[in-house]
Every structure is written in structure tokens, then in C-alpha cells.
Amino acid sequence: MNSEMDEERQRQKRQRMRSIAIALALGALVALFYIATIVRMGGNVFNRPM
């Protein structure tokens, strides 16, 4: 009974770690794409004729 609870707890822990890792990776990717966009477009980012 105890080992079953342990296993379940470990499974949940692994799942939580995985979710955090995916969230961090996605966040890093968004930041990377944002920075690269600014670098590639330079000042033209703000050059929008009205």
C-alpha cells in the first residue's frame, strides 16, 4: 500500500517537473524569438507609417 502511494507520489513529481521544464523551455524560446526579431529588424520595428 505504502509503495503504491510512493509510486504515485513519484509519478506526480515527475509530471510536475516535466511541466515546469516545458514551461521554462517555451518561455526561453519566446524570449529568443522576440530578441532575434528586434535584432533582425533593428530600428525598423518602430517604422510604421500611419
Partner 1 sequence: MQGTGVETEIGRIGATTESSVGDFLQLMKPRVMSLVVFSALTGMVVAPGTIHPVLAVIALLAITIGAGASGALNMWYDADIDAHMARTAARPIPRGRLTRDEALSFGAVLSLFSILTLGVLVNWTAGALLAFTIAFYLFVYTMWLKRRTPQNIVIGGAAGAFPPMIGWAAVTGSVSFESLLLFLIIFTWTPPHFWALALYRCRDYERVGVPMLPVVAGPTETRRQIWLYSLILVPLALVPGFIGLAGPAYLAAAAGLGATFLYLAWRVRKITQGREADTAARNLFGFSILYLFLLFAAMLAEHVAMQWLA
Residue ranges binding partner 1 (CB under 8 A): 10, 13-14, 17-18, 21, 25, 29, 32-33, 35-36, 39-40
**Nearest distance, CB of residue 46 and partner 1, angstroms:** 18
Task: Supply the minimum distance, in Å, between the C-beta of residue 49 and partner 1.
Answer: 26
HEC assignment per residue over 1-50: CHHHHHHHHHHHHHHHHHHHHHHHHHHHHHHHHHHHHHHHHHHHHHCCCC
Q: How far is the CB of 39 from partner 1 (least distance, A)?
A: 5
